[in-house]
Copies of this chain bind each other. A is one copy, B any other.
Amino acid sequence: MTGKGIAMKELPIHMELRPESGETLYEQIYGFIRNEIRTGSLLQGEKLPSARFLAEYLQVSRTTVDMAYGQLVSEGYLEARPRQGYFVSAVEGLCVIEQPAPGRKQEPGVERGQAQRRYDFSPNAIDMHFFPYATWKKITKNILVDANSDMFSLGEQQGDAKLRTTICRYLHGSRGVNCEPEQIIIGAGNDYLLLLLEKILGRHVHVAMENPTYVRAYQIFQSCAYPVSLIPMDENGIRVDCLRQTEAQVAYVMPSHQYPTGISMPIGRRMELLKWAAEEEGRYLIEDDYDSEFRYKGKPLPSLQASDSNGNVVYIGTFSKAIAPAIRISYMVLPYPLLARYRQQCGFYSSTVSRIDQTILNEFIEDGYFERYLNKMRKQYRMKHDLLLGELRPFHRAFKISGSNAGLHLILTDRRGRSEEELAGQAEAAGVKVYQMRHFRMEETDREPAMLILGYGALSQEKIKEGVALLKKVWL
Protein backbone atom coordinates (compact mmCIF):
# COMPACT_ATOMS: atom_id res chain seq x y z
CA MET A 1 0.00 0.00 0.00
CA THR A 2 1.20 3.47 -0.78
CA GLY A 3 0.14 6.83 0.60
CA LYS A 4 -0.42 7.49 4.25
CA GLY A 5 -2.48 5.05 6.21
CA ILE A 6 -4.47 6.41 9.08
CA ALA A 7 -6.10 4.47 11.85
CA MET A 8 -8.42 6.20 14.24
CA LYS A 9 -8.31 4.33 17.46
CA GLU A 10 -11.48 5.76 18.88
CA LEU A 11 -13.39 5.10 15.67
CA PRO A 12 -13.71 2.11 13.43
CA ILE A 13 -12.10 4.05 10.59
CA HIS A 14 -8.89 3.18 8.88
CA MET A 15 -8.53 5.47 5.95
CA GLU A 16 -5.98 5.47 3.14
CA LEU A 17 -5.51 8.53 1.01
CA ARG A 18 -3.96 7.68 -2.32
CA PRO A 19 -2.74 10.84 -4.04
CA GLU A 20 -1.91 8.93 -7.20
CA SER A 21 -5.32 7.30 -7.59
CA GLY A 22 -6.81 9.87 -9.93
CA GLU A 23 -9.68 10.45 -7.53
CA THR A 24 -9.76 13.76 -5.71
CA LEU A 25 -9.12 13.67 -1.99
CA TYR A 26 -12.72 14.42 -1.21
CA GLU A 27 -13.93 11.61 -3.46
CA GLN A 28 -11.62 9.24 -1.63
CA ILE A 29 -12.90 10.30 1.77
CA TYR A 30 -16.46 10.12 0.50
CA GLY A 31 -15.95 6.69 -1.05
CA PHE A 32 -14.23 5.32 2.02
CA ILE A 33 -16.93 6.36 4.47
CA ARG A 34 -19.71 5.28 2.12
CA ASN A 35 -18.15 1.88 1.89
CA GLU A 36 -17.78 1.62 5.65
CA ILE A 37 -21.50 2.31 5.97
CA ARG A 38 -22.52 -0.06 3.18
CA THR A 39 -20.50 -2.91 4.59
CA GLY A 40 -21.73 -2.27 8.08
CA SER A 41 -18.37 -1.23 9.57
CA LEU A 42 -20.01 2.03 10.53
CA LEU A 43 -23.39 1.39 12.07
CA GLN A 44 -26.57 3.42 12.15
CA GLY A 45 -26.45 6.13 14.79
CA GLU A 46 -22.65 6.17 15.09
CA LYS A 47 -21.10 9.59 15.36
CA LEU A 48 -18.38 10.58 12.94
CA PRO A 49 -15.34 12.65 13.86
CA SER A 50 -15.89 16.39 13.47
CA ALA A 51 -14.91 17.78 10.06
CA ARG A 52 -12.22 19.86 11.73
CA PHE A 53 -10.75 16.92 13.56
CA LEU A 54 -10.75 14.70 10.48
CA ALA A 55 -9.21 17.45 8.34
CA GLU A 56 -6.36 17.91 10.79
CA TYR A 57 -5.93 14.20 11.20
CA LEU A 58 -5.75 13.54 7.46
CA GLN A 59 -3.83 16.74 6.79
CA VAL A 60 -6.33 17.92 4.21
CA SER A 61 -8.29 21.16 4.05
CA ARG A 62 -11.46 21.62 6.02
CA THR A 63 -13.35 22.19 2.76
CA THR A 64 -12.29 18.79 1.45
CA VAL A 65 -13.84 17.06 4.43
CA ASP A 66 -16.90 19.34 4.30
CA MET A 67 -17.40 18.36 0.67
CA ALA A 68 -17.16 14.65 1.46
CA TYR A 69 -19.55 14.93 4.40
CA GLY A 70 -21.87 17.12 2.33
CA GLN A 71 -22.01 14.54 -0.43
CA LEU A 72 -22.73 11.79 2.10
CA VAL A 73 -25.47 13.87 3.70
CA SER A 74 -27.04 14.66 0.34
CA GLU A 75 -27.03 10.97 -0.57
CA GLY A 76 -28.56 10.03 2.74
CA TYR A 77 -25.65 8.10 4.27
CA LEU A 78 -25.06 10.66 7.01
CA GLU A 79 -27.28 13.08 8.79
CA ALA A 80 -26.12 16.39 10.18
CA ARG A 81 -27.61 17.26 13.54
CA PRO A 82 -27.23 20.93 14.44
CA ARG A 83 -24.66 21.50 17.18
CA GLN A 84 -24.07 17.76 17.52
CA GLY A 85 -22.26 16.63 14.42
CA TYR A 86 -22.59 13.91 11.80
CA PHE A 87 -24.23 10.55 12.39
CA VAL A 88 -24.68 7.47 10.24
CA SER A 89 -28.25 7.37 8.92
CA ALA A 90 -30.55 4.42 8.75
CA VAL A 91 -29.80 3.30 5.25
CA GLU A 92 -33.44 2.42 4.61
CA GLY A 93 -34.14 6.11 5.15
CA LEU A 94 -32.78 6.72 1.67
CA CYS A 95 -36.22 6.52 0.13
CA VAL A 96 -36.65 10.26 0.61
CA ILE A 97 -33.80 10.95 -1.81
CA GLU A 98 -35.17 10.41 -5.24
CA GLN A 99 -32.11 10.82 -7.39
CA PRO A 100 -28.53 9.66 -7.49
CA ALA A 101 -26.17 12.44 -6.55
CA PRO A 102 -24.89 14.54 -9.43
CA GLY A 103 -22.16 12.97 -11.42
CA ARG A 104 -22.63 9.59 -9.85
CA LYS A 105 -24.55 7.30 -12.14
CA GLN A 106 -26.60 4.65 -10.48
CA GLU A 107 -25.79 1.20 -11.74
CA PRO A 108 -28.89 -0.31 -13.30
CA GLY A 109 -30.86 -2.56 -10.99
CA VAL A 110 -28.73 -1.74 -7.99
CA GLU A 111 -29.94 0.84 -5.53
CA ARG A 112 -27.71 3.05 -3.53
CA GLY A 113 -26.35 1.46 -0.43
CA GLN A 114 -28.32 -1.74 -0.78
CA ALA A 115 -27.90 -5.18 -2.17
CA GLN A 116 -29.83 -5.89 -5.34
CA ARG A 117 -33.58 -5.67 -4.71
CA ARG A 118 -36.15 -6.81 -7.20
CA TYR A 119 -39.38 -5.49 -5.72
CA ASP A 120 -39.42 -1.86 -4.64
CA PHE A 121 -42.70 -0.83 -3.02
CA SER A 122 -41.78 2.86 -3.19
CA PRO A 123 -44.59 5.22 -2.19
CA ASN A 124 -43.06 7.99 -4.33
CA ALA A 125 -42.84 6.27 -7.69
CA ILE A 126 -45.51 6.64 -10.33
CA ASP A 127 -46.39 4.67 -13.44
CA MET A 128 -45.28 6.38 -16.65
CA HIS A 129 -46.22 3.45 -18.86
CA PHE A 130 -49.46 5.00 -20.10
CA PHE A 131 -48.24 8.56 -20.43
CA PRO A 132 -49.45 9.87 -23.80
CA TYR A 133 -46.02 10.74 -25.16
CA ALA A 134 -47.35 11.04 -28.69
CA THR A 135 -50.03 13.54 -27.66
CA TRP A 136 -47.56 15.60 -25.68
CA LYS A 137 -45.19 15.68 -28.66
CA LYS A 138 -48.00 16.61 -31.02
CA ILE A 139 -49.12 19.51 -28.84
CA THR A 140 -45.53 20.71 -28.46
CA LYS A 141 -45.01 20.56 -32.20
CA ASN A 142 -48.22 22.45 -32.93
CA ILE A 143 -47.40 25.14 -30.43
CA LEU A 144 -43.93 25.63 -31.80
CA VAL A 145 -45.25 25.89 -35.35
CA ASP A 146 -47.13 29.02 -34.38
CA ALA A 147 -44.55 30.17 -31.86
CA ASN A 148 -43.30 33.68 -32.27
CA SER A 149 -41.31 36.12 -30.21
CA ASP A 150 -44.29 36.50 -27.92
CA MET A 151 -44.06 32.86 -26.89
CA PHE A 152 -40.34 33.31 -26.26
CA SER A 153 -40.79 36.40 -24.13
CA LEU A 154 -40.94 36.46 -20.36
CA GLY A 155 -44.44 35.71 -19.20
CA GLU A 156 -46.46 37.21 -16.37
CA GLN A 157 -44.90 36.82 -12.95
CA GLN A 158 -47.82 34.83 -11.54
CA GLY A 159 -48.03 32.61 -14.59
CA ASP A 160 -49.89 32.92 -17.88
CA ALA A 161 -53.46 34.13 -17.45
CA LYS A 162 -54.79 31.41 -19.74
CA LEU A 163 -53.26 28.58 -17.76
CA ARG A 164 -54.35 30.16 -14.48
CA THR A 165 -57.91 30.31 -15.78
CA THR A 166 -57.73 26.66 -16.84
CA ILE A 167 -56.31 25.57 -13.48
CA CYS A 168 -58.96 27.60 -11.70
CA ARG A 169 -61.72 25.83 -13.59
CA TYR A 170 -60.12 22.42 -13.08
CA LEU A 171 -59.69 22.96 -9.34
CA HIS A 172 -63.23 24.14 -8.94
CA GLY A 173 -64.67 21.20 -10.85
CA SER A 174 -62.53 18.46 -9.36
CA ARG A 175 -61.67 19.73 -5.89
CA GLY A 176 -64.34 22.33 -5.09
CA VAL A 177 -61.65 24.99 -4.73
CA ASN A 178 -63.19 28.48 -4.73
CA CYS A 179 -60.87 30.99 -6.29
CA GLU A 180 -60.29 33.47 -9.07
CA PRO A 181 -57.44 33.07 -11.59
CA GLU A 182 -55.78 36.13 -10.03
CA GLN A 183 -55.28 34.19 -6.79
CA ILE A 184 -53.20 31.51 -8.50
CA ILE A 185 -49.40 31.56 -8.59
CA ILE A 186 -47.75 29.12 -10.98
CA GLY A 187 -44.24 27.98 -10.10
CA ALA A 188 -41.59 25.42 -10.98
CA GLY A 189 -42.45 22.80 -8.37
CA ASN A 190 -43.79 22.74 -4.82
CA ASP A 191 -40.37 23.38 -3.32
CA TYR A 192 -40.13 26.70 -5.14
CA LEU A 193 -43.67 27.66 -4.14
CA LEU A 194 -42.87 26.99 -0.48
CA LEU A 195 -39.81 29.24 -0.79
CA LEU A 196 -41.99 31.95 -2.27
CA LEU A 197 -44.57 31.42 0.45
CA GLU A 198 -41.84 31.98 3.04
CA LYS A 199 -41.26 35.40 1.48
CA ILE A 200 -44.98 36.14 1.71
CA LEU A 201 -45.48 34.86 5.26
CA GLY A 202 -42.31 36.45 6.54
CA ARG A 203 -39.32 35.30 8.50
CA HIS A 204 -40.82 34.70 11.88
CA VAL A 205 -43.49 32.09 11.45
CA HIS A 206 -44.05 29.15 13.72
CA VAL A 207 -45.19 26.16 11.66
CA ALA A 208 -47.09 23.07 12.79
CA MET A 209 -46.90 19.80 10.86
CA GLU A 210 -48.48 16.41 11.16
CA ASN A 211 -46.16 13.75 12.56
CA PRO A 212 -45.29 11.65 10.54
CA THR A 213 -45.21 13.93 7.52
CA TYR A 214 -43.75 14.62 4.08
CA VAL A 215 -40.02 14.79 4.78
CA ARG A 216 -39.12 17.34 2.11
CA ALA A 217 -41.63 19.90 3.34
CA TYR A 218 -40.13 19.47 6.82
CA GLN A 219 -36.64 19.99 5.40
CA ILE A 220 -37.78 23.13 3.58
CA PHE A 221 -39.29 24.66 6.72
CA GLN A 222 -36.06 23.79 8.52
CA SER A 223 -34.00 25.48 5.84
CA CYS A 224 -36.26 28.54 6.24
CA ALA A 225 -35.29 28.42 9.95
CA TYR A 226 -38.95 28.27 10.95
CA PRO A 227 -39.63 26.75 14.35
CA VAL A 228 -41.64 23.59 13.63
CA SER A 229 -44.04 21.93 16.07
CA LEU A 230 -44.86 18.32 15.28
CA ILE A 231 -48.44 17.45 16.06
CA PRO A 232 -49.57 13.89 16.80
CA MET A 233 -52.37 12.34 14.76
CA ASP A 234 -55.25 10.06 15.60
CA GLU A 235 -57.41 8.10 13.15
CA ASN A 236 -59.03 11.36 11.98
CA GLY A 237 -55.76 13.13 11.32
CA ILE A 238 -53.98 15.98 13.03
CA ARG A 239 -55.06 16.49 16.66
CA VAL A 240 -56.35 20.02 16.86
CA ASP A 241 -56.32 19.89 20.68
CA CYS A 242 -52.55 19.36 20.53
CA LEU A 243 -52.19 22.03 17.85
CA ARG A 244 -53.85 24.48 20.25
CA GLN A 245 -51.13 23.87 22.80
CA THR A 246 -48.48 25.24 20.44
CA GLU A 247 -47.56 28.75 19.37
CA ALA A 248 -48.03 27.80 15.72
CA GLN A 249 -49.56 30.36 13.35
CA VAL A 250 -49.39 28.18 10.27
CA ALA A 251 -50.23 24.48 9.93
CA TYR A 252 -49.11 22.41 6.95
CA VAL A 253 -51.61 19.60 6.40
CA MET A 254 -52.61 16.98 3.81
CA PRO A 255 -56.33 16.50 4.56
CA SER A 256 -57.30 14.42 1.50
CA HIS A 257 -54.77 11.66 1.92
CA GLN A 258 -52.14 12.33 4.49
CA TYR A 259 -48.61 11.34 3.51
CA PRO A 260 -47.56 8.82 4.57
CA THR A 261 -50.33 7.63 6.92
CA GLY A 262 -53.00 7.65 4.21
CA ILE A 263 -55.56 9.17 6.58
CA SER A 264 -58.44 11.13 5.00
CA MET A 265 -59.54 13.85 7.37
CA PRO A 266 -63.31 13.72 7.99
CA ILE A 267 -65.40 16.85 7.82
CA GLY A 268 -65.66 17.27 11.60
CA ARG A 269 -61.90 17.47 12.04
CA ARG A 270 -61.66 19.81 9.06
CA MET A 271 -64.12 22.17 10.70
CA GLU A 272 -62.13 22.09 13.94
CA LEU A 273 -59.00 22.94 11.99
CA LEU A 274 -60.67 25.80 10.11
CA LYS A 275 -62.05 27.09 13.40
CA TRP A 276 -58.53 27.14 14.86
CA ALA A 277 -57.32 29.11 11.84
CA ALA A 278 -60.16 31.63 11.98
CA GLU A 279 -59.74 32.33 15.69
CA GLU A 280 -56.71 34.54 15.39
CA GLU A 281 -55.60 37.10 12.82
CA GLY A 282 -52.77 35.83 10.65
CA ARG A 283 -53.31 32.10 11.11
CA TYR A 284 -53.15 30.02 7.94
CA LEU A 285 -53.47 26.43 6.83
CA ILE A 286 -51.27 25.19 4.00
CA GLU A 287 -53.21 22.43 2.27
CA ASP A 288 -50.91 20.20 0.23
CA ASP A 289 -53.29 18.29 -2.03
CA TYR A 290 -50.47 16.31 -3.63
CA ASP A 291 -52.28 13.21 -4.90
CA SER A 292 -55.97 13.95 -4.55
CA GLU A 293 -56.52 12.90 -8.15
CA PHE A 294 -56.40 9.25 -7.17
CA ARG A 295 -59.27 8.16 -5.02
CA TYR A 296 -60.89 4.75 -5.22
CA LYS A 297 -63.65 4.47 -2.68
CA GLY A 298 -66.66 6.63 -1.99
CA LYS A 299 -67.32 10.13 -3.19
CA PRO A 300 -64.15 12.20 -3.26
CA LEU A 301 -64.12 14.70 -0.42
CA PRO A 302 -63.60 18.23 -1.71
CA SER A 303 -60.52 20.12 -0.65
CA LEU A 304 -60.20 21.81 2.74
CA GLN A 305 -60.07 25.10 0.86
CA ALA A 306 -63.61 24.42 -0.39
CA SER A 307 -64.93 24.55 3.19
CA ASP A 308 -62.98 27.67 4.11
CA SER A 309 -65.13 30.76 4.24
CA ASN A 310 -62.60 33.01 5.96
CA GLY A 311 -59.71 32.97 3.53
CA ASN A 312 -57.36 31.01 5.80
CA VAL A 313 -56.27 28.28 3.43
CA VAL A 314 -53.31 28.31 1.04
CA TYR A 315 -53.99 25.50 -1.43
CA ILE A 316 -50.99 23.86 -3.13
CA GLY A 317 -51.09 21.28 -5.90
CA THR A 318 -48.84 19.91 -8.61
CA PHE A 319 -48.88 18.32 -12.04
CA SER A 320 -45.70 16.34 -11.29
CA LYS A 321 -47.66 13.49 -9.74
CA ALA A 322 -50.71 13.49 -11.99
CA ILE A 323 -48.86 13.95 -15.29
CA ALA A 324 -45.12 13.42 -15.05
CA PRO A 325 -42.32 14.39 -12.67
CA ALA A 326 -40.66 16.28 -15.51
CA ILE A 327 -43.59 18.68 -15.66
CA ARG A 328 -42.13 21.23 -13.30
CA ILE A 329 -45.42 23.02 -12.85
CA SER A 330 -47.12 23.48 -9.51
CA TYR A 331 -49.69 26.01 -8.37
CA MET A 332 -50.61 27.78 -5.20
CA VAL A 333 -53.96 29.45 -4.48
CA LEU A 334 -53.51 32.41 -2.14
CA PRO A 335 -56.30 33.85 -0.01
CA TYR A 336 -56.71 37.58 -0.66
CA PRO A 337 -54.81 38.94 2.35
CA LEU A 338 -51.76 36.88 1.33
CA LEU A 339 -52.27 37.76 -2.33
CA ALA A 340 -52.08 41.42 -1.36
CA ARG A 341 -48.85 40.75 0.52
CA TYR A 342 -47.47 38.77 -2.42
CA ARG A 343 -48.09 41.69 -4.76
CA GLN A 344 -46.55 44.18 -2.38
CA GLN A 345 -43.52 42.18 -1.35
CA CYS A 346 -42.90 39.56 -4.02
CA GLY A 347 -44.64 40.72 -7.18
CA PHE A 348 -41.28 41.36 -8.83
CA TYR A 349 -40.08 37.73 -8.74
CA SER A 350 -39.98 36.47 -12.33
CA SER A 351 -41.98 33.43 -13.26
CA THR A 352 -39.99 30.20 -13.04
CA VAL A 353 -41.91 28.43 -15.81
CA SER A 354 -41.43 29.20 -19.50
CA ARG A 355 -44.42 30.36 -21.52
CA ILE A 356 -43.90 27.45 -23.90
CA ASP A 357 -44.25 24.88 -21.12
CA GLN A 358 -47.28 26.67 -19.72
CA THR A 359 -48.91 26.73 -23.14
CA ILE A 360 -48.30 23.02 -23.72
CA LEU A 361 -49.82 22.14 -20.37
CA ASN A 362 -52.75 24.43 -20.98
CA GLU A 363 -53.58 22.72 -24.26
CA PHE A 364 -53.12 19.31 -22.68
CA ILE A 365 -55.79 20.17 -20.13
CA GLU A 366 -58.08 22.25 -22.35
CA ASP A 367 -58.24 19.66 -25.11
CA GLY A 368 -59.38 17.00 -22.64
CA TYR A 369 -56.20 14.90 -22.70
CA PHE A 370 -55.52 15.48 -19.03
CA GLU A 371 -58.93 14.21 -18.00
CA ARG A 372 -58.65 11.17 -20.21
CA TYR A 373 -55.19 10.41 -18.88
CA LEU A 374 -56.32 10.85 -15.28
CA ASN A 375 -59.23 8.48 -15.82
CA LYS A 376 -56.96 5.92 -17.37
CA MET A 377 -54.45 6.19 -14.53
CA ARG A 378 -57.17 6.09 -11.89
CA LYS A 379 -58.31 2.80 -13.40
CA GLN A 380 -54.74 1.47 -13.53
CA TYR A 381 -53.95 2.47 -9.98
CA ARG A 382 -57.27 1.16 -8.74
CA MET A 383 -56.53 -2.21 -10.34
CA LYS A 384 -53.14 -2.34 -8.64
CA HIS A 385 -54.65 -1.13 -5.38
CA ASP A 386 -57.38 -3.78 -5.45
CA LEU A 387 -54.87 -6.45 -6.43
CA LEU A 388 -52.51 -5.52 -3.59
CA LEU A 389 -55.39 -5.44 -1.08
CA GLY A 390 -56.50 -8.86 -2.31
CA GLU A 391 -53.02 -10.34 -2.14
CA LEU A 392 -52.69 -8.99 1.39
CA ARG A 393 -55.78 -10.87 2.58
CA PRO A 394 -53.73 -13.54 4.36
CA PHE A 395 -51.91 -10.74 6.23
CA HIS A 396 -54.94 -9.54 8.20
CA ARG A 397 -54.27 -11.57 11.32
CA ALA A 398 -50.72 -10.34 11.58
CA PHE A 399 -51.25 -6.77 10.32
CA LYS A 400 -53.86 -4.05 10.30
CA ILE A 401 -54.14 -2.67 6.76
CA SER A 402 -55.07 0.99 6.30
CA GLY A 403 -54.87 4.04 4.03
CA SER A 404 -56.73 2.23 1.30
CA ASN A 405 -59.13 4.87 0.04
CA ALA A 406 -56.82 6.92 -2.04
CA GLY A 407 -53.29 7.63 -3.18
CA LEU A 408 -50.65 5.18 -4.23
CA HIS A 409 -49.70 3.30 -1.08
CA LEU A 410 -51.03 1.23 1.82
CA ILE A 411 -49.96 0.96 5.45
CA LEU A 412 -49.43 -2.34 7.27
CA THR A 413 -49.45 -2.07 11.07
CA ASP A 414 -47.93 -5.04 12.84
CA ARG A 415 -50.06 -6.75 15.52
CA ARG A 416 -47.32 -8.98 16.93
CA GLY A 417 -44.95 -6.55 18.59
CA ARG A 418 -42.21 -6.82 15.98
CA SER A 419 -40.06 -3.80 15.07
CA GLU A 420 -39.98 -1.96 11.76
CA GLU A 421 -36.25 -2.68 11.41
CA GLU A 422 -36.87 -6.37 11.89
CA LEU A 423 -39.72 -6.56 9.38
CA ALA A 424 -38.00 -4.37 6.79
CA GLY A 425 -34.80 -6.35 7.25
CA GLN A 426 -36.58 -9.64 6.61
CA ALA A 427 -38.20 -8.19 3.49
CA GLU A 428 -34.87 -6.82 2.35
CA ALA A 429 -33.24 -10.22 2.69
CA ALA A 430 -36.01 -11.67 0.51
CA GLY A 431 -35.40 -9.02 -2.17
CA VAL A 432 -38.32 -6.75 -1.31
CA LYS A 433 -38.02 -3.10 -0.35
CA VAL A 434 -40.69 -1.77 1.98
CA TYR A 435 -40.61 1.57 3.77
CA GLN A 436 -40.55 2.18 7.51
CA MET A 437 -42.89 4.73 9.06
CA ARG A 438 -40.27 5.90 11.57
CA HIS A 439 -38.33 7.59 8.76
CA PHE A 440 -41.28 9.91 8.27
CA ARG A 441 -41.59 10.71 11.96
CA MET A 442 -39.63 13.87 12.53
CA GLU A 443 -39.71 13.33 16.28
CA GLU A 444 -39.86 10.22 18.40
CA THR A 445 -43.38 9.46 19.50
CA ASP A 446 -44.63 7.12 22.22
CA ARG A 447 -43.90 3.54 21.39
CA GLU A 448 -46.01 2.90 18.30
CA PRO A 449 -46.54 -0.50 16.70
CA ALA A 450 -44.39 -1.15 13.63
CA MET A 451 -45.83 0.35 10.45
CA LEU A 452 -44.64 -0.51 6.97
CA ILE A 453 -45.48 1.47 3.85
CA LEU A 454 -46.15 -0.36 0.60
CA GLY A 455 -46.39 1.84 -2.49
CA TYR A 456 -47.68 0.23 -5.67
CA GLY A 457 -47.70 3.08 -8.19
CA ALA A 458 -44.77 1.96 -10.30
CA LEU A 459 -44.96 -1.82 -9.88
CA SER A 460 -46.61 -4.06 -12.46
CA GLN A 461 -49.42 -6.35 -11.36
CA GLU A 462 -47.10 -9.30 -11.68
CA LYS A 463 -44.43 -7.68 -9.54
CA ILE A 464 -47.03 -6.86 -6.89
CA LYS A 465 -48.12 -10.50 -6.72
CA GLU A 466 -44.57 -11.82 -6.59
CA GLY A 467 -43.46 -9.22 -4.04
CA VAL A 468 -46.34 -9.99 -1.70
CA ALA A 469 -45.69 -13.74 -2.02
CA LEU A 470 -42.12 -13.13 -0.83
CA LEU A 471 -43.33 -11.00 2.08
CA LYS A 472 -45.76 -13.74 3.04
CA LYS A 473 -42.91 -16.19 3.43
CA VAL A 474 -40.91 -13.97 5.75
CA TRP A 475 -43.62 -12.11 7.68
CA LEU A 476 -46.43 -14.62 8.31
Interface of A with B (CB < 8 Å)?
A: 63, 66-67, 69-71, 73-74, 80, 96-103, 128-129, 131, 133, 136-137, 140-141, 144-145, 147-149, 151-159, 161, 164, 181-182, 188-192, 195-196, 199, 203, 216, 219-220, 223-225, 311, 320, 324-328, 336-337, 339-357
Contact = CB atoms under 8 A, between A and B. Distances in A.
Contacts of A341: 66, 70
A76 to B, nearest CB: 10
Contact of A182 (B102, B131, B351): B102
A70 B102 contact: no
B131 A137 contact: no
A443 to B, nearest CB: 19
A149 B137 contact: no
Contacts of A354: 326-328, 357
Contact of A343 (B70, B328, B353): B70
B191 A188 contact: no
A191 B66 contact: no
Contact of A351 (B63, B67, B158, B328): B328
Nearest to A158: B102
A453 B347 CA distance: 25
Nearest to A348: B219
Nearest to A360: B356
List 9 A-B pairs, minimum CB-CB distance, nearest first.
Answer: A74-B347, A70-B343, A188-B352, A66-B340, A154-B325, A128-B149, A70-B340, A74-B343, A152-B324
A62 B128 CA distance: 47
A161 to B, nearest CB: 6
Contact of A102 (B164, B223, B311): B164
B349 A220 contact: yes
Contacts of A356: 326
A344 to B, nearest CB: 5
A340 B99 contact: no
Indicate how many identical chains form the complex.
2
A223 B393 CA distance: 55
23 contacts: A63-B337, A66-B336, A66-B340, A67-B340, A80-B344, A99-B154, A101-B347, A102-B158, A102-B159, A128-B153, A133-B144, A133-B147, A140-B140, A153-B326, A154-B320, A154-B326, A188-B353, A189-B352, A195-B196, A199-B224, A219-B348, A223-B346, A357-B357
Contacts of A102: 156-159, 161, 164, 181-182
A65 to B, nearest CB: 9
Given A74-B344, A133-B147, A152-B325, A182 B80 contact: no
A325 B356 CA distance: 11
A199 B181 contact: no
A152 B137 CA distance: 12
Nearest to A71: B343
Contacts of A320: 154
Contacts of A74: 157, 343-344, 347-348
A199 B100 CA distance: 22
A459 to B, nearest CB: 15
Contact of A153 (B156, B325, B340): B325
A340 B215 CA distance: 21
B140 A136 contact: no
B99 A191 contact: no
A472 B214 CA distance: 63
Contacts of A344: 66, 69-70, 73-74, 80
Nearest to A336: B63
A326 B152 contact: yes
Nearest to A225: B203
